[in-house]
Amino acid sequence: MHPVRAYEVVTGLVRSAWEAPAAAPAPSRRVWRDWVLLVVVATLAVVEGIVRTDLTQPVVSVLGVVAIAPTVLWRRTRPLFMLVLAVVLTTPLELVLPDPVLNTSVFVAVLVYALFRWGSGRDLVLGSGILLGSLGLTFQRDGRLDDVIGGFALLLSVAVLGAVFRARAGSQQRNLDRIRMLEREHLARDLHDTVAHHVSAIAIRAQAGIAMAVRDPDAATDALGVIEAEAAKTLSELRSMVRVLRQHETAELAPSPGLSDIDQLAGTRPGGVQVSVRVAGDDGSIPPPVAAAVFRLAQESVTNALRHARQVTRVDVVVGVDEGGVRVNVTNDGDVAASPNPGFGIIGMMERAALLGGTCQSAPAPGGGWAVTATLPRVGWAA
């Protein structure tokens, strides 16, 4: 590799490591385990100072360990500062005192673990430099290479352990974020279906009210009442879904629609459009995600027929359930001048069916009108 290119690669890696963010979310509250660790470290230091006979100044050695023991309480929120504090307090004692280091001081490995588990990239770079400098001072004082190698191996093992748990937690968080994004995508599709359905009803009812206002003022008043009810229901459902889409707000959740709810689509719509629904073979064993998808497919198909088909008089919804899965067939007798480009509604139906391992087709029917045909497995992939 060219020297200039190698230099750019190295500097890029260093810059990337330096600018890496801290692991999130770091727990900010101290739990009972932190206090237990503090008490254990302080107790072991006192016991070791009493038991060991090779210490010329046991009180100073014990006080040195007890003084840095509280750093375990803030090791997650301030990992670099706690490590620096421990090194600053212990290094002068190790250089001045002739006594060997207390074995209890090995708890500093907990601070090293916290640094690589929770610290930012800048913390990791600076903390690694501090640890290497501390090992260098230890070698300069004792001159024993085996102690330095052992200490380095211990610190490296703890650092790798912290990095592994950091990577594992990051992977789990990314999986949760991915699942959350998928759920938000589903909610966005439901939001589109709901708004399109209600707004279509409002628009059609308003047109009918305008047409009847001259001949029958009471019909216009009735139309306004229907529009008000539909608008209120739409706003309520919008607020509920928006609360779900926001991070820290709760929503008033309702059960997902099922196959039995498809009957709600039946009836006479403004303008005289007849919507008929027939569900055959439903034994209640269809999983809720698949049943909700079937309902949304039927609802969106009816909405599209009422909005886009011209001179439509009838919409037929047929849902069949068997051992192989669920088949949805929605047809209307309206005229379609040209094959329209698939909008968000049709694309959403296709994606919803594909997500569950099924298929969805929307095209002109052979005998005229428009047909939407979807087939979903009994147990969809996402179910």
Q: How confident is the model at residue 352 (pLDDT cuts 50, 70, 90)?
A: confident
Q: Is pLDDT larger for residue 308 or for residue 47?
A: 47
- Domain for residue 197, yes or no? no
CB–CB of 305/334 below 8 Å? Answer: yes
pLDDT of residue 195: 67
pLDDT of residue 194: 63
Q: Which of 94, 125, 143 is a domain's end point?
A: 143
Q: What is the mean pLDDT of residues 232-255?
A: 57
Q: Sign of the C-alpha dihedral, residues 206, 211, 214, 216?
A: negative
**Three-state secondary-structure class, residue 204:** helix
Mean pLDDT value across the chain: 79
- Domain for residue 233, yes or no? no
**138 and 8 belong to one structural domain:** yes
Q: In CATH, what number is assigned to the domain containing residue 303? A: 3.30.565.10
Q: What is the mean pLDDT of residues 320-344?
A: 76
Q: Is pLDDT larger for residue 68 or for residue 343?
A: 68
Counting Cα atoms < 13 Å in the Cβ hemisphere of 240 gives 15
CA neighbor of 378 nearest in space, from 313, 319, 322: 322
Strand duo 314-321 + 325-332: pairing: antiparallel
Residue given tokens 């706003």 in the structure block: 235
- Domain for residue 326, yes or no? yes
Q: Which of 101, 116, 143 is a domain's end point?
A: 143
- Domain for residue 218, yes or no? no
User: 1-42, pLDDT tens digit by residue?
Assistant: 556 566 666 676 667 777 777 777 667 778 888 899 999 999
Tell me the C-alpha distance between 219 and 224, whole Å: 9
C-alpha distances (whole Å) from 129 to each of 36, 71, 108, 225 are: 30, 19, 16, 74
Q: Could you tell me where the DSSP H helices lie in the chain?
A: 3-18, 32-51, 58-68, 79-96, 108-118, 121-142, 145-213, 217-245, 288-308, 344-355
CB–CB of 33/2 below 8 Å? Answer: no
Question: Is the per-residue pLDDT at 246 higher than 80?
Answer: no
CA neighbor of 170 nearest in space, from 106, 118, 124: 118
pLDDT of residue 154: 87
Q: Is pLDDT larger for residue 292 or for residue 207?
A: 292
- Domain for residue 58, yes or no? yes
Q: What is the mean pLDDT of residues 101-109?
A: 86
CB–CB of 252/216 below 8 Å? Answer: no
Question: Is the per-residue pLDDT at 190 higher than 60?
Answer: yes
pLDDT of residue 210: 73
- Domain for residue 160, yes or no? no
User: 60-84, pLDDT tens digit by residue?
Assistant: 888 888 999 999 999 988 899 999 9
Tell me the C-alpha distance between 147 and 283, whole Å: 73
Q: Is pLDDT larger for residue 252 or for residue 218?
A: 218
pLDDT of residue 36: 92
Surface-to-core class of residue 46, CB atoms within 10 Å of its CB (0-12 exposed, 13-18 middle, 19+ buried): middle
pLDDT of residue 71: 92
Domain count, the chain: 2
- Domain for residue 129, yes or no? yes
CB–CB of 278/329 below 8 Å? Answer: no
Q: Which of 143, 177, 200 is a domain's end point?
A: 143
Question: Is the per-residue pLDDT at 203 higher than 60?
Answer: yes
Q: How confident is the model at residue 269 (pLDDT cuts 50, 70, 90)?
A: confident
User: Could you tell me the residue range of the domain that residue 268 belongs to?
Assistant: 259-383
Q: Is pLDDT larger for residue 25 or for residue 113?
A: 113
CA neighbor of 300 nearest in space, from 313, 286, 317, 288: 317
Tell me the C-alpha distance between 317 and 262, whole Å: 9
Question: Is the per-residue pLDDT at 371 higher than 50?
Answer: yes
- Domain for residue 179, yes or no? no
- Which tokens belong to 288? 């809720």
| Angle, helices 108-118/121-142, rounded to nearest 10 degrees | 150
Q: What is the mean pLDDT of residues 327-336?
A: 87
CA neighbor of 296 nearest in space, from 201, 203, 376: 376
